A and B are shown apart, each in its own frame.
Chain A
Amino acid sequence: MGRRGCRAAALAALWSVVFVLPASGQARPAPRQAPAGPTPRAGSWEVGGGVAYVGGFDLGDAAAELTRNTGSSGSPFTLFVTSWEVGPAPGVEGRLAYYFSPRFAVEGRVRFAQPVLGIEASADTEGAPDVTAEETLDQYVFGGSALWHFARPSPRTRVVPFVFGGAAYLRELHEGQELVETGRDYQAGAGVKVWFGSARRRLGIRGDAGLAIRDGGVDPETNLRAVPIAGASLIYLF
C-alpha cells in the first residue's frame, strides 16, 4: 500500500512537471537525494531536452467540381484541382523519465513543431496560375511513453539501446491561433543513450527514431496515418 502510494505520488509529480515545464519555462524538478549504488535504479529520474524531426504527410487531392449540365449523368466539371500536405518540420522536445527498475522507465514528453500546411492549386479551367498557398501550424504533442533499456550503464557499458512506445495528445493550432484541431498520436521506436562518466548523476545524449501514428489533428482522413519521427537530446540522470 505504502509502495503503491509512493509510486502514484511519483507519477503525479512526473506529469505535473511535464505539463508545467512548457508553460513556465522555468520549472525545475525538485532536488532529490540520490540513493546509493549504481544508477539508474528504481527511483532514478532522467530529464532531457533537444531537437526533434517530425515527418510530413500527404493529405490527398481534392478537386473543385461543378455539377455538369447533363442532369444526373456525366462526370462533374472540374474547376481546378488541389493537393494538400503537411510538410516535415524541425521541432523541440522535452522529457522527464522515472525509472521503475534499472531497465524500465516511464517518461512524459512535450514536443513543439511548426509544420507548414500547403494547398497546391493547379489545372484551373480559366487559366489561373498554379499556386501553393501555405500556412504555418503550431503543433504540440503532450504524451507519455514506456521505455525498455537493453543494458544497464556501467563504466564498461556507456551505450544503452532502448525501445519505446506510447501515446500522446495532439494539438494543432492554425495560423492566427483561432482554430484548434486535436487528435491522438501513438509512437513507437528505438534509440540509444550514450552516458558520459559513471557518476550517479551524469550527463548523456540520446538519439531515437520511430513512427508516430496520427489520428486526427488537421488530417481530415479517418484512417490512421504513420509519420516518421526522430530526436536528439541532451539528458541528465539523477
Chain B
Amino acid sequence: MTPRLRLLAAAVVVLLGAAPLGAYLKLGSRVGDRTVTLKWNQFPVRYFVTDRPAEGVGVPEFQAAIERAFATWHAVETAQTSSEFAGFTQAQPFEDDDMSVLGFVDRSDQDRTLAATSFLIDTRDGTILESDIFFNSSFRWGTSDPGVQGRFDLESIAVHEIGHLLGLSHSALGETELVSGGRRVIAAETVMFPIAFSSGSTADRTLKADDIAGMSDIYRTSASSRQFGSISGRVTKNGAGVVGAHVVAFNPRTRALIGGFSLGSDGAFVIAGLEPGPHLLRVEPLDDGDIDSFFDDSFGVDVDFSVKFHERVVVVPRGGGTMNVEIRVTPK
C-alpha cells in the first residue's frame, strides 16, 4: 500500500497569511532527512468540479473559469503539464477519495482565506496522488472581464491555486504594507504571491516570469533545459549561511524578475528557469509577507540583514548554470 500523507499546502489570503506547509519556490515535503519536490508524475491531471454554485457564480461559469486557469499554466511552452476535466461531482474538496476536486465551500470561519489547496502525496518520493482546492464561498466572487469591484476574480485566484496544485509554492516577489488586521499587497510580480490583489483585480490571470520559471523548473522539457540556465550560490553573513534570504535575479534585457530563497544552514540558493544573459542579483530579508506563508516555523529564517545588490554581474549560460556566487550581507 502506498504510504500517503495529506498536506494543506498554501492558501491565498486576503490580508493575513494562513499556515501553509514548509515550502519554497517548489513545494517540498520532508522524507527522512531529505526534502523531496512535490510533483505529478502522470499527466493529464484529472480533476472534478463540484456542482455547488456560489453567489454570483454558477456551476458552468465556475467550471469554465477553472478550465481557463488550468489552460493558463498548460500554455507555458517550457513546461510539460496537462489536465482533463473529468466531470461534475457532489464530493467535497479535502476528502481522501482519489479524486482531485475543486469547488466552493463555505468556510466563514476562515475569514481571511480566499482559497486553499491540499495534497495527498506518496511520502516515499513526493509524487502527488490527489490535490483538492476549495474556494471560500463566504467571499463574493466574480468571473467577468474586467473584474467587478467588491468581487474577487475567480479565475485569478484559480490560477494561483492551480499553481500550488501543480507543485509551486509561494513566491515573495511583492511589496506589502501593514494595515489593521494584517498586510495589504502594494504590488507583486508573480501570481504565486501569498496575498491576493484587491477585489476586482484580474491581474493574476496572467503569469509572470517568476511563475513561468518555477513551473518550467518542475516540469522541464528538453527544450527548456537547453534554453534556460540557472544561478546558484550562497548568501552569507559574517561567513555563515543565511537561511530564508529572498534572492531575486533581474534581467535588464527582458526586465524579468525571478526569485528564489536560500535554503539550508549553508545559505545555498538556486534560481532556475533564467533566460541566458547578464543578470543583477538583489537579496532581501523575507519581510513582505508572514514568514509562515513560505516556511514552517522550524525553518529558522534569518531576517536580520540589510537589502543589497550583488557587486558582480552574473551571467547565465544557455542550458547550464553559474555556480558559486557568494552574496555577503551585513546585519541591520
Residues of A within 8 A of B (CB): 59, 62-72, 76-77, 79-80, 82, 84, 117-119, 121, 124-129, 131, 133-135, 174-176, 178-179, 218, 220
Contact = CB atoms under 8 A, between A and B. Distances in A.
A80 B255 CA distance: 11
B53 interface: no
B101 interface: no
Nearest to A220: B253
Contacts of B185: 69
Majority secondary structure of chain A interface residues (helix, strand, loop or mixed)? strand
A124 B306 CA distance: 12
Contacts of A59: 252
A174 B278 contact: yes
B284 A119 contact: no
Nearest to A176: B315
B310 interface: yes
Given A62-B250, A72-B203, 10 more contacts: A65-B255, A66-B173, A71-B197, A71-B200, A77-B186, A80-B309, A82-B250, A124-B309, A127-B307, A174-B278
Contact of B309 (A65, A77, A84, A133): A133
A64 to B, nearest CB: 5
B96 to A, nearest CB: 37
User: Sorted from nearest, which 10 A-B pairs have the closest CB atoms?
Assistant: A77-B187, A66-B187, A178-B317, A135-B313, A174-B315, A62-B252, A128-B307, A131-B309, A71-B201, A220-B253
B255 A179 contact: no
A77 B311 CA distance: 24
A67 B313 contact: no
Contact of A64 (B202, B250, B312): B250
B188 interface: yes
A126 B259 CA distance: 16
B255 A62 contact: yes
Interface of B: 146-147, 173-175, 184-189, 197-198, 200-203, 208, 248, 250, 252-253, 255, 257, 276-278, 280-282, 284, 306-313, 315-318, 320, 322
A55 B202 CA distance: 47
A181 to B, nearest CB: 8
Contacts of A124: 282, 307, 309
Contacts of A77: 175, 186-187
A72 B173 CA distance: 18
B187 to A, nearest CB: 3
Contact of A119 (B184, B252, B308): B252
Contacts of A133: 280-281, 309-313
Contact of A68 (B186, B278, B307): B186
Given A66-B188, A80-B282, A82-B280, A175 B317 contact: no
Contacts of A72: 146, 202-203
Contacts of A135: 278, 312-313, 315
B200 A64 contact: no
A82 B252 contact: yes
Contacts of B308: 128-129, 131
Given A67-B187, A133-B309, A135-B278, A175 B252 contact: no
